[in-house]
Structure 1
Amino acid sequence: MRSSAAAVALAALALVPGAASADERPCEAPGKLVPIAGKILNNSLGPGDTLGTLQGTLAGSKKLKCGIHGKAFLNPDGSFGGFTHSVVCDDTLQAENAVDSIHSQVISISRFDGLPNFGSCGIPGMDLQYGSFREISDPQAGRGQFSPTGGGRLYIEGTINCAGAVDMSFTGHVCLVR
């Protein structure tokens, strides 16, 4: 069985360095672009899947505690395209209908920024890999405090080890509506 890192490493060879889109998604009104920074602690669940936690700070003071699920996707030509990261936070906000409550959520598309630096773990019969990578992630949609149209950009630095732990730190901007 291939690890997600191995699948990513093999597919990454088909990527052109800097494959992320050149333009940051705009923050549409009534949203406001604010700085965000934090860390993500994931485990690889299998080829192309990760699950973990995200802790961060919005606008320098508002704390975030969220779950995160990463799912690899392929480009139309079959080459590795990146990850769809789904983030759901532990806040509770009133929905627009003034009856229901919701938890903030953001969906972001992440692509490698350059080629990852992966090596083999050397475990016979397993294609596990370790190393470091950089990603650029563009929020596409949200709810709760995040803009339904997405907006902003995150810059991610990460590592994966032979046990499947994927640790990342991020900085950037995200579009908030609340």
Structure 2
Amino acid sequence: MNNKHPVLVNSMVRGAAAAAVAVLALTSGAASAEERACQGRLAPISAKITTNAIGPGDTLGVLAGKIDGQLKLNCGIQGKAFFNPDGTFGGFTHTLVCGDTMSEFGQAVHSQVVALSRYDGMPQFTSCGIPGMDLQYGSFREITEPQSGRGIFSPTGGGRLEVEGTVNCAGAVDMKISGEVCVVY
């Protein structure tokens, strides 16, 4: 079983030693980063994310959801893989930019949040069986922690999201998120 994140499905195999170290990192609690303090109020969020792998370690897609069960979110989302200092897979930095507009200091501000996502447990990926290609399909679970924001999201981040996702052999990644995010509206 290959333990790469779905957006890495088109990348070259990094070697058995790197895979073994990644497995160790994932099973030793890499998903348990410290939660940031909220400098606003925690609000419930639920959303659906639809993305595609656009290159090794990169995804691009859309998020549609709600905060407080009422405020609608329509956002673009970009994912970028990051690696730990020892070279093991660390997770993803996800950046959302939303279609709302607020006025701050006489300027238009679009809400944005930058979050770190890490596996919660071992992903369940299987080879697509296409010779010469490292394509995978299956499911995964992530914990996502907002680190910074603007617009309706707290500049200091805060909150915690649970992500349930799947990836297919075409590189399509579908995710459902729920949890709480720190807002300042």
Give me the TM-score of the superposition, normalised by structure 1: 0.91
Q: How far off its partner does 1:34 sit?
A: 0.3
Which of 166, 169, 173 in structure 1 is aligned with 2:176? 169
2:155 and 2:8 map into 1 onto residues whose CA distance is 30
Q: How far off its partner does 1:46 sit?
A: 1.4
CA contact (8 A) 1:43 1:166 kept: yes
Other-structure match for 1:89: 98
Report the RMSD for the aligned CA atoms in angstroms: 2.0
Which of 55, 59, 67 in structure 1 is aligned with 2:64? 55
1:59 partner amino acid = D
Other-structure match for 1:147: 154
Does residue 32 of the first structure (1) align with residue 41 of the second (2)? yes
Other-structure match for 1:74: 83
CA contact (8 A) 1:104 1:146 kept: yes
How many residues align? The count is 173
Could you give the per-residue CA deviations for residues 42-80 of structure 1, whole angstroms, max 9, x where no partner exists? 000111000000011101111100000000000000000
Q: How far off its partner does 1:122 sit?
A: 0.5
Q: How far off its partner does 1:24 sit?
A: 2.6
Question: Gaps spanning 5+ residues in structure 1: where?
Answer: none
Does residue 157 of the first structure (1) align with residue 160 of the second (2)? no
Which of 25, 29, 45 in structure 2 is aligned with 1:15? 25
CA contact (8 A) 1:5 1:160 kept: no
CA contact (8 A) 2:50 2:172 kept: yes
Q: How far off its partner does 1:25 sit?
A: 1.9
Q: How far off its partner does 1:125 sit?
A: 1.2
Give me the TM-score of the superposition, normalised by structure 2: 0.88
Q: How does 1:97-176 map to 2 (within 5 A)?
A: 97=105, 99-176=106-183
Other-structure match for 1:4: 8
CA contact (8 A) 1:147 1:176 kept: yes
Other-structure match for 1:65: 74
Distance 1:56 1:82, change over 3 A: same
